[in-house]
């Protein structure tokens, strides 16, 4: 098993920084100056400055990365990934041990687990998923050993592993009902075992209390605030999450193997599967890759439910209980439908399938088919993130010559910031002479170039050689997020992403009156105005600044605005070159034209045109501060 893990991980030791690695590394860097509080900082997320205490994971992974950073002095891909391979090894060995305890073929069960998609792909990241998985499986193995032999020593190690798992991920609390099931069936009178189950809850409580005392804020409270403000837990998100997690459950082992293992489901249950798959395929995605995967996921979950209620040995019942408890918990806790969320469920599915399928040839075929798909997917993933590393390397000279903003998350942002770039805030003005690096898929934010225009100086099409896609342009895969689609992966040979470097060059304003839909508007808006919507209008914030061409004669200041429901009352002030020229108060929603009462003569060129409102609103799920809607603003000449 050690050789199998090394064979899987060694080719990817130089894997580029990817995905959420950036945020954990930000905490690791913070740990160099404040080891006890790696999340006591702020960083830009989706164009907004946020509090790191709202990070969705406790600090254990940041501490691990912080220790590696202290040892090596900088982020170095090869030694960091070599260290993280230990967690993969620990997880596989734990499954091998569990297979021996549960009378499943140990090597086959461990390899079934190793071939799980998220283990193959996400095991090459520096995120918290695989360290948490290793601690989850170690906790389970140690607790089972302790319960079987009433071993206090093994129980102490199990409690310690559960406590560490709680510091790696909040979902460690699901260990409590999962292991409580095993204790109930095998050693329900053992009081020490019941007491030990409190370890993850106690650890999370102590950490929250420590943070509350030392900083005045509990991280769970900050996280809950962000979840609410971004509407992550809204019903549509939860339903999409449920569909995507069902799809991913169908790939914890190869779908054909899942059908083979649980083919003896009763006829009513198969009818139920068909009845659920048919409308999902019709309404969500008619591609066979979706509905076959969705059906396989339903079969896995229903088979676990049937196993739980039918008479069987305690080990088989426990595996079914583990699957059901974790799957239901994932439906409640998560919102993005990512495949990595189900990693702790991969082990019981692999063990149960290994016990169910009597023909070893079928098991080995399933393992082989999984690896034939997911190892190339891991190679594709490497090529994706390596394209960002190479793009930044090619621009190293440009990055050192001027101020550069990176308009992206994830790997492109990490490598750009390592060369001195700064993260771009939403609607931030970028001045002439500055450069912006942008990725089309990495959540770019809108920004303005008042007094300048964008000139592209470099572009790279990210097109991995392997046509499997986990995320990307026009991709319908839920592997990382359900916002892209519902398939476990997609098969395309189109570009995965496009990244570009653009320089802002100075350009005098050409319009006196600026319709929001005009092509010139982007270069004349300095700040406070958001991206074009509906083809004709833009929201502005509390204060908008627009540069105008100086009119040759007398003119009036004018603003065409709209106040929707909930945006009133508003007091609006218009200034020209810092001088108030018009104001009005609006009590009702509707369209208005605010105009200066007398003609103006302006002397400066360009003219600075400002619009101010007395208050703003932020709708649920939208972090922008919204004042009113603009369709046009500027100066109109009068005869």
What whole-number distance in Å separates Cα of residue 20 and Cα of residue 18? Answer: 6
Q: Alpha carbon of 486 to those of 165, 288, 291: distances in Å?
A: 30, 11, 9
Is the same domain home to 284 and 270? Answer: yes
Q: What percent of the chain has pLDDT over 90?
A: 72
Mean pLDDT of the 552-568 span: 91
Residue 257 located in a structural domain: yes
Is the same domain home to 46 and 189? Answer: yes
Is the same domain home to 438 and 574? Answer: no
Residue 382 located in a structural domain: no
Is the same domain home to 432 and 466? Answer: yes
Is the same domain home to 587 and 479? Answer: no
Residue 109 located in a structural domain: yes
Over residues 290-306, the pLDDT tens digits come to: 999 999 999 999 999 99
Helix, strand, or coil here: 529?
strand
Please identify, among 339, 358, 377, the residue that sits at the C-terminal boundary of a domain. 358
Is the same domain home to 138 and 211? Answer: yes
Over residues 486-513, the pLDDT tens digits come to: 999 999 999 999 999 999 988 889 999 9
Please identify, among 188, 205, 230, the residue that sits at the C-terminal boundary of a domain. 230
Using the structure block, give the residue that is written with the tokens 């009378």.
103
Task: Indicate the average pLDDT of the chain.
Answer: 92
Is the same domain home to 329 and 404? Answer: no
Over residues 257-278, the pLDDT tens digits come to: 999 888 877 777 788 888 888 8
Residue 324 located in a structural domain: yes
The domain that contains 552 carries what CATH number?
A: 2.60.120.260
Please identify, among 182, 202, 230, the residue that sits at the C-terminal boundary of a domain. 230
* CB-CB contact of 440 with 497 (8 Å): yes
Over residues 307-362, the pLDDT tens digits come to: 888 887 888 899 999 999 999 999 998 888 899 999 999 999 999 999 988 888 99
Is the same domain home to 283 and 265? Answer: yes
What whole-number distance in Å separates Cα of residue 173 and Cα of residue 178? Answer: 9
* Number of domains making up the chain: 4
Residue 156 located in a structural domain: yes
Which of 254-263, 470-479, 525-534 has maximum average pLDDT? 470-479
Q: Is the pLDDT of residue 229 over 70?
A: no
Q: How confident is the model at residue 280 (pLDDT cuts 50, 70, 90)?
A: confident
Is the same domain home to 497 and 525? Answer: no
Task: Tell me how long the chain is.
Answer: 639
Over residues 335-344, the pLDDT tens digits come to: 888 999 999 9
Q: Is the pLDDT of residue 231 over 60?
A: no
DSSP string, 26-62: HHHHHHTT-TT-TT-SEEEETTEEEEGGG-SS-SHHH
pTM of the full predicted structure?
0.87
Residue 367 located in a structural domain: no
Range of the structural domain that residue 609 is part of: 513-637
Is the same domain home to 492 and 414? Answer: yes
Is the same domain home to 81 and 133? Answer: yes
DSSP string, 551-584: PSS-EEEEEEEEE-TTS-SEEEEEEETTEEEEEE
Residue 377 located in a structural domain: no
Is the same domain home to 66 and 204? Answer: yes
């Amino acid at each position: 098993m050690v050789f199998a893990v090394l064979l899987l991980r060694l080719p990817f030791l130089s894997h580029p920084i990817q995905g959420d690695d950036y945020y954990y590394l930000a905490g690791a860097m913070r740990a160099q100056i404040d080891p006890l509080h790696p999340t006591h900082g702020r960083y830009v997320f989706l164009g907004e400055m946020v509090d790191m205490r709202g990070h969705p994971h406790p600090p254990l992974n940041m501490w691990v990365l912080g220790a590696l950073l202290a040892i090596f002095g900088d982020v170095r891909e090869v030694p960091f990934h070599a260290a993280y391979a230990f967690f993969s090894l620990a997880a596989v060995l734990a499954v091998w041990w569990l297979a021996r305890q549960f009378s499943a073929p140990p090597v086959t069960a461990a390899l079934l687990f190793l071939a799980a998609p998220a283990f193959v792909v996400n095991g090459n990241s520096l995120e918290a998923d695989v360290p948490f998985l290793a601690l989850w499986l170690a906790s389970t193995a140690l607790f089972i050993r302790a319960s079987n032999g009433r071993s206090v020593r093994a129980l102490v190690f199990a409690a310690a592993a559960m406590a560490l798992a709680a510091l790696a991920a909040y979902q460690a609390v699901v260990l409590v009902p999962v292991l409580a099931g095993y204790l109930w069936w095998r050693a329900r009178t053992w009081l020490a075992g019941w007491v030990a189950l409190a370890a993850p809850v106690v650890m999370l409580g102590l950490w929250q209390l420590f943070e509350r005392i030392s900083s005045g804020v509990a991280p769970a409270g900050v996280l809950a605030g962000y979840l609410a403000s971004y509407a992550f837990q809204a019903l549509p998100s939860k339903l999409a999450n449920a569909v995507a997690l069902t799809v991913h459950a169908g790939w914890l082992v190869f779908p054909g193997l899942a059908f083979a293992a649980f083919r003896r489901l009763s006829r009513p249950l198969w009818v139920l599967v068909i009845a659920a798959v048919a409308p999902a395929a019709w309404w969500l995605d008619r591609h066979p890759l979706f509905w076959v995967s969705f059906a396989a996921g339903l079969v896995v979950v229903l088979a676990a439910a049937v196993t739980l209620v039918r008479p069987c040995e305690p080990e088989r019942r426990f595996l079914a209980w583990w699957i059901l408890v974790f799957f239901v918990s994932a439906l409640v806790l998560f919102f993005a439908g990512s495949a990595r969320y189900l990693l702790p469920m991969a082990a019981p599915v692999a063990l149960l399938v290994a016990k169910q399928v009597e023909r070893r040839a079928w098991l080995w075929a399933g393992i082989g088919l999984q690896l034939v798909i997911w190892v190339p997917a891991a190679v594709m993933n490497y090529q994706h993130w390596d394209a960002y590393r190479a793009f930044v390397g090619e621009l190293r000279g440009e990055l050192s010559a001027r101020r550069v903003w990176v308009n992206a998350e994830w790997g492109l942002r990490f490598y750009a910031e390592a060369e001195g770039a700064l993260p771009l805030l939403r609607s931030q003005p970028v001045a002439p002479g500055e450069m912006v690096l942008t990725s089309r898929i990495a959540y770019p934010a809108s920004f303005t170039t008042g007094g300048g225009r964008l000139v592209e100086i470099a572009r790279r099409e990210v097109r991995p050689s392997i046509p499997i896609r986990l995320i990307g342009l026009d991709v319908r895969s839920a592997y990382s997020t359900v916002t892209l689609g519902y398939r476990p992966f997609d098969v395309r040979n189109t570009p995965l992403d496009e990244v570009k470097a653009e320089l802002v060059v100075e350009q005098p304003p050409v319009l006196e009156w600026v319709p929001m839909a005009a092509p010139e508007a982007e270069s004349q808006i300095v700040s406070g105005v958001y991206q074009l919507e509906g083809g004709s209008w833009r929201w502005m914030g509390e204060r908008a600044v627009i540069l105008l061409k100086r009119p040759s004669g007398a003119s009036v200041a004018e603003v065409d605005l709209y106040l929707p429901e909930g945006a009133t009352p508003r007091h609006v002030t218009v200034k020209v070159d810092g001088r108030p020229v018009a104001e009005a108060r609006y009590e009702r929603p509707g369209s208005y034209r605010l105009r200066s009462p007398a003609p103006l003569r302006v002397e400066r060129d360009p003219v600075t045109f400002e619009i101010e409102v007395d208050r703003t609103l932020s709708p649920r799920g939208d972090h922008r501060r919204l004042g009113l809607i603009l369709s046009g603003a500027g100066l109109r000449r009068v005869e």
